[in-house]
Structure 1
Amino acid sequence: MSEDILSLSQFKADASRLLDQVRDEPKTLVLTQNGRARAVVEDYEHYQARERAMLMLRLLAEGERDASRGDSIAQAEVFADLRRRLQAQRDDAARGQGG
């Protein structure tokens, strides 16, 4: 993904075209104000994909940290707990419909 640097004034003058360009090309616009980077404009779908990737990286890092500390639960125990919770929800729903 490429990166263009524009002043805020340049962006304001041609915002509609620039937003179309950001949508159509994988590009990030860095907006400057008084010669300093102040904001970033990027396509929303690219933003969402990057946020999902960052979330996955955070989860992986947390998992590695937990594993290195020995802070983990056996898979069978996790699934058994999930089954119990699901059954409890079903039971609650069945009681709610019958009453």
Structure 2
Amino acid sequence: MSEHVLSLSQFKTDAARLLDQVRDEAATLVLTQNGRARAVVQDFAEYQARERAMLMLKLMAEAERDLSTGDTMPQAEVFATLRNRLQAQRDAADG
């Protein structure tokens, strides 16, 4: 993935072509305003993939922290608790 830096004015002038470039080349645009980086433009699918990857990293870090502190429970207990919560929600919706 390549990264290009350009001013907001440059982006406004040629936005449609630059958005195609972002999509076709998996490029990231760093937009500047008054010489300072202000925003990033990237393909939406790339953004979603990055967000999913960050979520997975966060979950892994939480799991490692839970393991190190002993804050765990057996899998069967987790699923039983979730089943009970789901049933309670269904009962509340029906009643």
Normalising by structure 1, what TM-score? 0.84
Q: Which protein is bigger by CA-based radius of gyration?
A: 1
How many equivalent residue pairs? 95
Corresponding residue number in structure 2 for 1:59: 59
Post-superposition shift, 1:12? 0.8
Post-superposition shift, 1:74? 1.1
Task: Give the % identical residues.
Answer: 77
RMSD: 1.9
Gaps of 5+ in 2: none
Post-superposition shift, 1:89? 4.5
Post-superposition shift, 1:88? 4.0
Corresponding residue number in structure 2 for 1:37: 37
Q: Deviations over 1:1-35 (max 9, x none)?
A: 11011111111110111011111111100011121
Aligned residue type for 2:70: G
Pair 9,87 (structure 1): closer, same or farther in 2 beyond 3 Å: closer
- SS class of match (1:65): helix
Normalising by structure 2, what TM-score? 0.87
Corresponding residue number in structure 2 for 1:17: 17
Aligned residue type for 1:26: A
Q: Deviations over 1:24-68 (max 9, x none)?
A: 111100011121111100011111110111011011101111110
Gaps of 5+ in 1: none
